[in-house]
């Protein structure tokens, strides 16, 4: 249970499966307003599948609510409309569309009278986007594309933002920009779920951590309790015995 006042995302008994093969089971966690929960674990642990199940793009079971409203029976697009937004590993951008068009598309999940302000918020967090409004997404660097992917999600005014390995393949300079953006969003009261393989980056922003091994939570706790690299590696190994 989070110490934060309002629970924005509550997940209980979550599974994820491909056909009959279950890759996550009985995952329970919640995310409070202004809280960053990181999901750590070895390759193949089921982190991406877990986010997919919560977002409604991977089959699964379990109870999911956003701000107390049950969304687990809704299709993915209605979960997004209910405030749950996933920035997937592949970033989910439209490569032939410009930065402006991608941001406009993201903003369509927000009320019409707030779209302008939300796009401005995205470009304030990532000023490079303001300079590249007419550039095609596919012509941007990996770091710029990641900023656009997060900016596109922000433009849709999410309650809960789920990010799947946003630092993957990026230069360390981009880490700082992403870290500052996540901190600003947390200060705004957003709930953030961050799947991350880069442990130092995760440790620098996490309020709470979950460690997933073989599709199940083997540890969860306040940041700092379990994120020492050695302790984390030990938790992977212990659970495999
Ligand atoms: P990584 O850090 O390497 O991305 P992960 O923790 O995100 O790993 P997943 O990608 O969720 O793990 O994979 C969990 C398990 O589900 C793996 O055994 C993987 O092979 C399997 N899996 C993932 N996608 C599919 C799919 N589309 N069809 C069948 N099995 C899949």
Supply the pLDDT for residue 53.
98
Supply the pLDDT for residue 225.
63
44, 60, 199: residue to mutate for ligand 1 pocket, most atoms within 8 A of CB: 44
47, 51, 196: residue to mutate for ligand 1 pocket, most atoms within 8 A of CB: 47
Protein residue closest via CA to atom 27 of ligand 1: 18
Q: How far apart are CA 42 and CA 33, in angstroms?
A: 27
What are the residues whose beta carbons fall under 8 Å from the beta carbon of 93, sequence distance 6 or more?
Answer: 102, 137, 138, 145, 148, 149, 152
Taking only Cα atoms into account, the Rg of the chain, rounded to an integer number of angstroms, comes to: 17
Supply the pLDDT for residue 241.
35
State both tokens at 71: 């969304």
What is the layout of strands, in order, in the sheet containing 84-87? Answer: 84-87, 160-164, 191-195, 35-40, 208-213, 216-222
Q: What's the average pLDDT block by block, 10 residues per block, for the chain (241 residues)?
A: 74 96 96 96 94 97 97 96 92 86 94 95 95 94 94 96 93 91 96 93 93 93 66 59 35
Ligand 1 in reach of 23 Cβ (< 6 A): yes
CA of 46 to the centre of ligand 1 (A): 6
Kind of pairing, strands 160-164 and 191-195?
parallel
CA of 25 to the centre of ligand 1 (A): 14
Ligand 1 in reach of 43 Cβ (< 6 A): yes
Q: How far apart are CA 147 and CA 122, in angstroms?
A: 9
Ligand 1 in reach of 62 Cβ (< 6 A): no
19, 22, 23: residue to mutate for ligand 1 pocket, most atoms within 8 A of CB: 23
Supply the pLDDT for residue 2.
46
Q: How far apart are CA 3 and CA 173, in angstroms?
A: 32
CA of 120 to the centre of ligand 1 (A): 36
């Amino acid at each position: 249970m989070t110490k934060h006042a309002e629970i924005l995302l509550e997940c209980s008994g979550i599974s994820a499966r491909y056909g009959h093969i279950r890759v996550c089971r009985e995952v329970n966690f919640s995310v409070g307003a202004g809280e960053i929960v990181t999901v750590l674990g070895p390759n193949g642990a089921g982190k991406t599948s877990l986010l997919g199940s919560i977002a409604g793009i991977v089959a699964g079971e379990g109870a999911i609510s956003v701000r107390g409203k049950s969304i687990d029976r809704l299709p993915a697009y209605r979960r997004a409309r209910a405030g749950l937004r996933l920035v997937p590993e592949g970033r989910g951008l439209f490569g032939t569309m410009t930065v402006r068009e991608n941001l406009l598309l993201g903003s369509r999940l927000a009320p019409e009278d707030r779209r302008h302000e939300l796009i401005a918020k995205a470009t304030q967090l990532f000023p490079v986007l303001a300079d590249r409004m007419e550039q095609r997404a596919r012509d941007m660097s990996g770091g710029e594309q990641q900023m656009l992917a997060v900016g596109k999600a922000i433009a849709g005014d999410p309650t809960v933002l789920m990010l799947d390995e946003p630092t993957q393949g990026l230069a360390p300079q981009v880490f700082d920009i992403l870290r500052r953006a996540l901190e600003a969003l947390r200060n705004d009261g957003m709930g953030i779920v961050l799947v991350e393989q880069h442990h130092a980056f995760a440790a620098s922003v996490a309020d709470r951590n979950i460690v997933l091994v073989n599709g199940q939570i083997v540890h969860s706790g306040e940041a700092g309790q379990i994120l020492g690299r050695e302790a984390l590696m030990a938790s992977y190994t212990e659970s495999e015995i």
